[in-house]
Structure 1
C-alpha cells in the first residue's frame, strides 16, 4: 500500500502529522500548572498503532525517553481492553502511572485515548506529563531511601478516567487525596485532556483531507523507511561484540556500586543489546522496568543515528536482552523512583559500546545526573508547597568540538526551569546560578562546564536530593580527562554538610536563610589535553572555565600577567612533559 504514495505526499503528511504532536505538546506546556511541564517541558504526545501500540508519529519537542516508553504504555492499555472485554467508545480515556506497565516512575501520568473512524478503531493518541506530587514518603516523589514502590507514591494501573463521555469523579477524588498539591495535579490533568482533544481534532482534519487509507499507508511507509535506514546504519558498522561498563555510585541504601554492563553485537544489519551482566535488582530506587530500559536504548540510538526517523520501525533490527535478574528489568514492588539516574547510565554505555565499534562515534561522558532536588514546606499563609526541579551540567567533548556548557542530559528535550520561575512559584531565593570552574574534563576538546546552583529557603523546609556522579565521574575518552564529581552541600548551625552516600539524601531540614548548594559535574574530555591549542586554553581561563593552575598543570599552558599565552614557557613545559 505504501508504494502507491509519491514522495511529495509522504513529505507533506509527515510534516502535518508531526505538527499534530508538536501542537499537543505546546497546548500542554501553555496550560500546565507545574513548572516541570510548563517550563521544563517534561511531557510528550504521539500517535500509536491501533493493534500493537507501536509508535507511529512523535513530535519534535516531546521528551524522548517518554516517546520510547509510550509504545509500551499504549500496549498496556490494549492488553487491558482485551483482557477485560471493555467496550470502547469515542472519547474514552485511560489514565495510569504504573512504571512496570509502560511507565517510567510514579510521577509520570499517561492518558491514552482510542481514535475511531466510521465506528472502527483507527489508532491511539496519548499524552504523558510529570505531575508534581503523588504521595509517598517524600514530597515530590524522589525518595532516595525507598525500598518499595509503596514508599514512592500512589500506583494507578490503567483505568478508565472517561467512559462514554463521563468523567470518573471518584478517581479524581482518589488522586487528589493522595497528593500534597492536588490543585497542581488537577491543572496538569486538564492540560493533558485538552491536548488530547486538540490532537484528535487535528488528526480528523488530516484524515478528512487525505482519506483514512492514504494516511494509514503513510504510517506504514514511515515505519518501513525508518527500518531500512536503521538497517543501513547498523550494516555500516563492523561485525563483532563490543562491551562497555559504567557505574552508579550506590542505591541510596548501601554504599555498594551498581554496574551497568552492555555486550553489543553487530551481525550484518542487526544489533543485539545484551545487559545480562548488569547488577542484580537493588534495594533502593535505582531500578528500572524493562520498558524503561528499552526506551533508553531507543534514545541512545536516535542520538547516534540522527537521520533515522523516530518511530517503531527503527527498532525492528534491534534485539534486547534485559533479564529480570538485573536492575534494568524489575517487577513490582521494587522501587524505581530514581530511574532518571539509571537511564542516563544505560544511554552512556550504549554510546560507549558503539564508539568501540566506530571510534568516529566516540563522545566523552556527559555529566550524567539530573540532581533531582525537592524542597517542601508551608508558606506564610499556611498553604503547602512542593518545589521540584532538575539541574544541568556539562556534556562530553567529541572528535569535532568541546562539549556544551550548562546543558541538559541526553535523555530529553527538556529545559532547566529558570530561576525566576522557581522563585516566583515557591518561597525560595537563588543566591548562585553560575558556571563551575574546573569542572570539565580536560582534553584536546574539553568537556562542557558544569554549574553551581545555590538557594536559600524563606521558610522552614525539608530538602531531598536524588543524584549521581558523586563517586564515579563522567569519563573522558581518547586520552581525555574525567570531569569533576557531583557535590551537594547544605548549611547547618555547625557549618556545611554533605551526604554520606555522595549525592543522595532524604532527611535534611533547613531554617529560613540556610542555603543548599549543588555543584554539578562537567563533561568528560576528548583527546590529550596537552594537544589543545594554547589560545583556546587562554580563552577558557579568561572566561573562568579553567583556572590558571589547571591551565598550567593539566594543559601545559603558561599565561603571562595579562592572561596571554607565554609561547616559550608553554613550549618548554609541554616538551618537558612529553619527555
Structure 2
C-alpha cells in the first residue's frame, strides 16, 4: 500500500467512524426511552454494498453484543429489497429468523444512493422497552414459541421514497405498550440514519464512490491482517470446551453449549456441534446471535486498537447445526438469547481458546439475574423498568489485570444510568448499589467484586425474575476460580412475602414500597489464587472487597489484624502447605 492509499484509507475510515459516533450521539440526545437516553442500549454502524452481501465498515461504541448481530439483519433486509430500493427508503426488521437476535432488538437501515446506486448503509440496532406480546417488557419466561416472545417484524419499509408509511408505522406503535416512548425512539433512530445519509453524501461528493470503496477495502484488509496475525500466534490444533446454562425457564436444566475451536495457521474454525438440541424455553440463540457472541469472544482476545469491521470475522468460520440451541428452527422462542445462552456461547469459545492462548482470554461474564418490573404512572401510561442497576458487575479477570468496572465486555457500550435521572423517570428509588465482600471469583487476578443492590418501587408493581448463574456460575480461566452464585429476593425486607427466586418467577405483585434485592456475583478469576501478590490481597481487604477470613480461605494470605499488614512468614507456610497437599492428591 502506497502512502496515498494509506492516508485515504485512514481518512475515509475515520470519517465513517465519526459519522457512526454522531449517529450514536443523535439517538442518545433525541430518544424518549431511558433505555436509549440513559442506558445507551443500542449500537450504530455503517455498512457498504460493494458485493453481493453487505459489509460492516464502521461502528460506534455501543452494546457490544449487538455489533456483529447487525450484520445478519442488514443482509436479510438487502436480500428482501435488493431490487426494490430507492432513495429515501428506510427499512426495519426485528425477526430473530430474519437476521435478528431476540425480537426486542430492532434494526433500522437507510440506504444511501449515489448516481442511483446504493453505496453505504447507516444502521441503528436498539433494544426496545416493549415488544407487544403477552407480557410487559417483552421477556416472557413462559414463552413456548416465537409468537409468544412478542411482535415479529419481518423485513419491511417504514419510509418509501422519502414518504412515511403511516399505516405501517401506526400498526407497529399500536402493538406496543410504551407507545408514548416508542414513536419518539423510532424517530430518533430514523433521524440518526438521515443525519448519517447527509454526512455520507458529502463524503461521496468529496471522494468518488470508487475511491471510498477502495479505501474501505484497504481498511478491512488491515483489520483482517491484524486478526490473522493474532490467530497465527496461537499453536495449531483443535481445542474443545463446554459450559452450561442453568435451565430454559421451562423446567429443563443444564443446557449445554459446546465449542470446538480449530486453529490452522491464521484461520479459525468454531464448531458448536454437540450443543444441546433447541430448548422448549426462550433461550434459543438464532445464528446471527450465535455468530455475534463468537465475535465478542474473539474480539476480547485481540488488541483493542484494531478497527472493528468485516475484517474481524473474515478469518473465522462458525458452524452451528440447525435444530440446536445455538441455531434453532422456527418457531422456537428466542426472547432471552442475548443473555442466555449468549453468555454460554462466548464462555465456551473463550474456554476453548484458553487452551491455545491462555494469556489472551478472560473478562467475559454475562450471566444476568434478569428481574424486570412494570406498573402504571399516575396518568395511566404504563412503565417498564429493566432494573439496570441489578445487572451491573460480573466482569471477570484477565492476564495481568483484575476485573474492572460494572459491565462485562458484551455490554461495555451500555452506560449505567444516572440514579437521579432513573428516579425521575420511574416511580422508584435505588436504596443501595455497592460492592460487597467475598463475592467474586478468586485468582492470581480476581474478578470484579460482586454487588449488593436494592431497588424500591414506590407504586404497585409486577416483577418477573429469570435467574442465571446460580448452579452453573461464571467460569474462571487458567486455574482461576469460578464466580459465586447470583441471588435475587423479591419483596425483600418483609417477613410475610419475601421470596428468594430459585429459577424463575412470573408477574409477582408487590405493593407500593416493595423492594427487589440483587446479589450480583462478581466475575471469574484468572490463574491460581495462591499466586496472587499478597500485597494485592491486602489492598482488597482494605478496600473491603475481601475480608480477613476470605484472604486466608481463598488466597492463603495471613493478615495481621492489629497492624493490618501481611504476615509474610505465615502466608508462605500456608501456601506451601496447600501446594504440597495439591501435589500429593
Shorter-chain TM-score above 0.5? yes
Deviations 1:507-547 (A, max 9, x none): 31111122111111111122222232222222211211012
1:340 aligns with 2:341: no
Q: After alignment, is 280-289 or 98-107 more displaced?
A: 98-107
Quote how far apart the aligned CAs of 1:368 are. 2.4
Deviations 1:327-347 (A, max 9, x none): 111133211111122212111
Residues 393 and 449 of structure 1 are in contact (CA less than 8 Å); yes or no, is this contact kept in structure 2? yes
Quote how far apart the aligned CAs of 1:411 are. 4.5
- Structure-1 separation of matches of 2:125 and 2:307: 21
Counting only pairs closer than 5 Å after superposition, residues 318-337 of structure 1 correspond to structure 2 as: 318-337=316-335
Counting only pairs closer than 5 Å after superposition, residues 31-70 of structure 1 correspond to structure 2 as: 31-50=30-49, 51-70=51-70
Counting only pairs closer than 5 Å after superposition, residues 129-278 of structure 1 correspond to structure 2 as: 129-278=126-275
In structure 1, the partner of 2:531 is: 531
Counting only pairs closer than 5 Å after superposition, residues 282-431 of structure 1 correspond to structure 2 as: 282-306=279-303, 307-341=305-339, 342-363=341-362, 366-390=364-388, 391-431=391-431
In structure 1, the partner of 2:578 is: 577
Aligned residue for 1:141, secondary structure, equals: coil
- Structure-1 separation of matches of 2:405 and 2:331: 38
In structure 2, the partner of 1:498 is: 500
Aligned residue for 1:215, secondary structure, equals: helix
TM-score, with normalisation over the residues of structure 2? 0.93
- Structure-2 separation of matches of 1:402 and 1:10: 36
In structure 2, the partner of 1:440 is: 440
Q: After alignment, is 402-411 or 173-182 more displaced?
A: 402-411
* Unmatched 5+ stretches in structure 1: none
Deviations 1:104-151 (A, max 9, x none): 111111111221111222232222111111112221111222111222
Quote how far apart the aligned CAs of 1:550 are. 0.8
Quote how far apart the aligned CAs of 1:556 are. 2.1
Structure 1 residues 570 and 507, CA gap change in structure 2 (3 angstroms): same
- Structure-2 separation of matches of 1:67 and 1:507: 32
- Structure-1 separation of matches of 2:478 and 2:210: 51
Quote how far apart the aligned CAs of 1:300 are. 1.7
Residues 302 and 360 of structure 2 are in contact (CA less than 8 Å); yes or no, is this contact kept in structure 1? no
TM-score, with normalisation over the residues of structure 1? 0.94
Q: After alignment, is 34-43 or 387-396 more displaced?
A: 387-396
- Structure-2 separation of matches of 1:415 and 1:369: 18
Quote how far apart the aligned CAs of 1:362 are. 3.5
- Structure-2 separation of matches of 1:434 and 1:445: 21
Quote how far apart the aligned CAs of 1:277 are. 0.9
Structure 1 residues 570 and 240, CA gap change in structure 2 (3 angstroms): closer
Aligned residue for 1:413, secondary structure, equals: coil
Structure 1 residues 445 and 456, CA gap change in structure 2 (3 angstroms): same
Residues 66 and 125 of structure 2 are in contact (CA less than 8 Å); yes or no, is this contact kept in structure 1? yes
Residues 460 and 512 of structure 1 are in contact (CA less than 8 Å); yes or no, is this contact kept in structure 2? yes
In structure 1, the partner of 2:583 is: none
Residues 43 and 61 of structure 2 are in contact (CA less than 8 Å); yes or no, is this contact kept in structure 1? yes
Deviations 1:202-243 (A, max 9, x none): 111111122222111111112222222333222222111000
Aligned residue for 1:475, secondary structure, equals: coil
Deviations 1:382-435 (A, max 9, x none): 332111243211322222121114333434421222322221111111111111
- Structure-2 separation of matches of 1:178 and 1:284: 23
- Structure-2 separation of matches of 1:405 and 1:429: 22
- Structure-2 separation of matches of 1:205 and 1:330: 43
Quote how far apart the aligned CAs of 1:562 are. 4.1
Residues 393 and 405 of structure 1 are in contact (CA less than 8 Å); yes or no, is this contact kept in structure 2? yes
In structure 1, the partner of 2:548 is: 548
- Structure-2 separation of matches of 1:58 and 1:467: 35
Residues 405 and 449 of structure 1 are in contact (CA less than 8 Å); yes or no, is this contact kept in structure 2? no
Residues 529 and 555 of structure 1 are in contact (CA less than 8 Å); yes or no, is this contact kept in structure 2? yes
- Structure-2 separation of matches of 1:293 and 1:543: 38
Quote how far apart the aligned CAs of 1:288 are. 1.1
Residues 394 and 522 of structure 2 are in contact (CA less than 8 Å); yes or no, is this contact kept in structure 1? yes
Aligned residue for 1:340, secondary structure, equals: coil
In structure 1, the partner of 2:15 is: 16
- Structure-2 separation of matches of 1:343 and 1:4: 42
Structure 1 residues 56 and 554, CA gap change in structure 2 (3 angstroms): closer
Structure 1 residues 3 and 73, CA gap change in structure 2 (3 angstroms): farther
Aligned residue for 1:6, secondary structure, equals: helix
Residues 278 and 325 of structure 2 are in contact (CA less than 8 Å); yes or no, is this contact kept in structure 1? yes
Q: After alignment, is 563-572 or 344-353 more displaced?
A: 563-572
May I ask how many residue pairs the two structures share in their alignment?
572
Q: After alignment, is 296-305 or 59-68 more displaced?
A: 59-68
- Structure-1 separation of matches of 2:248 and 2:467: 10
Aligned residue for 1:257, secondary structure, equals: strand
- Structure-1 separation of matches of 2:56 and 2:573: 60
